[in-house]
Amino acid sequence: MTGYKFLRLISFLFLFLTKQVNAQPRDIAIAERSVKCLTDVMVHDITSPLVASRDYAYSLIAFYEAVRPGKSSLKSYAGQLNGLKALPEIIPGSQYDWLIAGTTAFYKTSYALVFSKDQFQIAWDEIVADLKKRRISPLVFERSVKFGDQVAEHILNWAKKDNYIHTRTLQRYTPFREAGFWKQTPPDYMEAIEPYWNQIRPMVLSRPDEFLLPKPAPYNSEQFLAGCKEVFETSQKNTPEQTAEANFWDCNPFATQTIGHMVYSVKKISPGAHWIGITGIAIKKQKQPLQDALLSYSLVSVAIFDAFIACWDEKYRSNYIRPVTAIQILMAPTWQPILQTPPFPEYPSGHSVISTASAVILTRLYGDNFHYIDYVEKQFGIADRVFNSFNDAANEAAMSRLYGGIHFRQAIENGKDLGRMVGEKVLEKFKP
């Protein structure tokens, strides 16, 4: 908070009123940078996609709730999301700077949730430096910061009761010995992550298994073998386009590269982070005001949060085998998928669930046939891709898991169903 103290001093020098009209593009830029600040530290920490979805959701809801009073037509999440009680209110008739209130709430919430706090602070200080350039009266500034603080505190108290802390203490996962169940996968044979994520309180869903998927094909059944064959054969004749799609949607924060004793991390953002990034692209393209932008960010993050819970509930119900394990046993002992298999059971495909749920939200907010260029993966040296709708993108993301050799088709198709149901439930509960 040292940055803010300095800002407070500086702001005495500029006793001008803020010019709201021209502020929007810059506000959006600050909001986008705030999100990136959180994304970067999570990538650095190799934060799992699950924990990332939690960090995003609470931070972005806090951001939204702290800017929301700036547009009276917007609803609060209180009463809509499980366990979230009425938020602190603004002082009627007083002036607020919503960007200050919002970034304060976001910063405080994120800071509490991330691990590498120093790193987060260093990046955040750069945002603070730009916020300093705003001309705000000290009174408004302090009032806005205070409101942001109150919102953050409220959200963090809510977060505390989501059972996350308790799930850190539970017994680590033991893979089932029997054939057909998930086993640790090459190259690093990491332990399965977050086996108890279905114990996390959902935000919208009444329970993690509200939408129960059909059981995956039994191991060694005809359907199962056909699924293996499809993954194997696809890998043999992948087109460059399919390979590009697989790499574009890889979104694996756990991947490693091995050269002798040197096993270094190849860091990428998680699937959730990718869709948060797409949300940012849509916001920018529409030149939305701050409040609407945060509604988009937060609503997508809520959908992703619940989608992961529903998805993980099924993953550790079916404990299903990964293609690499099955194909090496049944078909080709040296077969390797294009992508590294992430460390958790196969069914359903998390990316399919998350992408579809996000696309459902974004389609409602921005309409179908929304043309955009996705440059989210550019930072990892991966070329941009162009999409004509969010649903196109979600379908591609889902299928890319087959091309990448890390999922069977049934996990993709059923994963998309689950994502759609979760997304629609979110929209049904919180009508934007």
Partner 1 sequence: MRILYTVLLIISFCNGKAQPLFTLLPASKTGINFQNNIKESSTHNVLKYEYFYNGGGTAVGDLNNDGLPDIVFTANMDQPKVYFNKGNFVFDDVTTKSKIRADGWKTGVTMADVNADGWLDIYICRSGNEEPDLRRNLLFINQKNGTFKEMAALYNINDKGYSTQAAFFDYDNDGDLDMYLLNHPVKRYTRFDVAYMKSARDSLAGDKLFRNDGDHFTDVSVNAGIIGNPIGFGLGIAIADFNGDGWTDIYVSNDYDEDDYLYINQKDGTYKESLTSYIGHTSKFSMGSDVADINNDALPDLFTLDMLPEDNKRQKLLKGPEGYDYFQMLLRNGYYYQYMRNMLHLAQKNDGQIRFSEIGQMAGISNTDWSWSALFGDYDLDGWQDLFITNGYMRDYTNMDFLKYDTPELIKKARDAGKEPDLFDIVKKMPSSQVKNYLFKNTGKLEFNNMSQQWGMDAASLSNGAAYGDFDNDGDWDLVVNNINQPAFIWQNHAEDLKNNFLKIKFSGTKINPSGIGTKVIVSAEDGFQQIQELELVHGFQSSVEPCLVFGLGKRLSVTVTITWKDGKTQTLRNQPVNKIITIEYQNAGNEKISEKAPQMLFAENLADSLLFKHQEDEYNDFKREPLLPHQFSRNGPALAVGDVDGDGKDDFFIGGAKGQTAAIFINQGNGKFIENKNFVFEEYKDFENVEAIFADLDNDKDLDLYVVSGGNESNFQDHIFWNDGKGNFTYKPNIMLSTKTTGGAVVAFDFDKDGDLDVFRGSQVTTGAYPLPPQSYLLQNDKGIFRDITPDFLKKIGMISTAVAADINKDGFIDLILAGEYMPVTILWGQSKSPYFSVDKQQQIAHSSGWWNCIKIADIDQDGDLDIIAGNHGLNSQMKPTMEHPITIDAADIDNNGSMDAIISYYIQGKRYPLPTRDELFDQVPSLKTTFPTYKAYSDATIDDIFTDEQFKKATHLKTEEFRSGVFRNDGQGFHFEAFVNEAQVFPLRDFLIDDFNHDGLKDLLMIGNNFAVRAQSGRYDAGKGLLLISKYPDPVFSPVANTGFLAARDARKIIRIDNYLIVANNNDRIQIFTIN
Residue ranges that bind partner 1, judged by CB under 8 A: 43-46, 115-119, 165-166, 168-169, 171-175, 177, 183-184, 186-187, 189-191, 258-267, 328-329, 333-334, 336, 379-381
Buried b (16+ CB within 10 A) or exposed e, 290-307: bbbbbbbbbbbbbbbbbb
Smallest separation, CB 123 to partner 1 (Å): 13
Contact 76, 87 (CB under 8 A): yes
Measured distance CA(425)–CA(414) in Å, rounded: 17
DSSP code of residue 181:
B
- Please say which residue, 22 or 169, places its beta carbon nearer to partner 1: 169
In the complex, minimum distance from the CB of residue 152 to partner 1, in angstroms, rounded to a whole number: 17
- Report the nearest approach of partner 1 to the CB of residue 43 (Å): 8
| Closer to partner 1 by Cβ: residue 93 or 260 | 260
Nearest to 228 by CA among 352, 354, 320, 342: 320
Q: Which is closer to partner 1, CB of 34 or CB of 340?
A: 340
Q: How many CA atoms lie within 13 A of 369 on its CB side?
A: 0
| Integer Cα distance of 249 and 100 in angstroms | 34
Tokens 């991390």 locate to 265
Closest CB 254 distance from partner 1, rounded Å: 11
**Nearer to partner 1 among residue 89 and residue 384 (C-beta):** 384
Q: How far is the CB of 193 from partner 1 (least distance, A)?
A: 11
Structure-block tokens of residue 319: 């404990």
At residue 50, φ and ψ (nearest 5 deg) are -70, -55
Q: Specify the residue, 88 or 187, whose C-beta has the smaller distance to partner 1.
A: 187
Phi/psi of residue 301, nearest 5 degrees = -65, -35
Nearest approach, Cβ of 120 to partner 1 (angstroms)? Answer: 10
34 token code pair: 């705030």
Choose between 92 and 333: whose C-beta lies nearer to partner 1.
333
Instruction: Write down the least CB distance from residue 224 to partner 1, Å.
Output: 19
Q: Which of 400, 364, 367 is nearest to 385 (CA)?
A: 400
When the beta carbons of 21 and 189 are compared against partner 1, the nearer one is 189
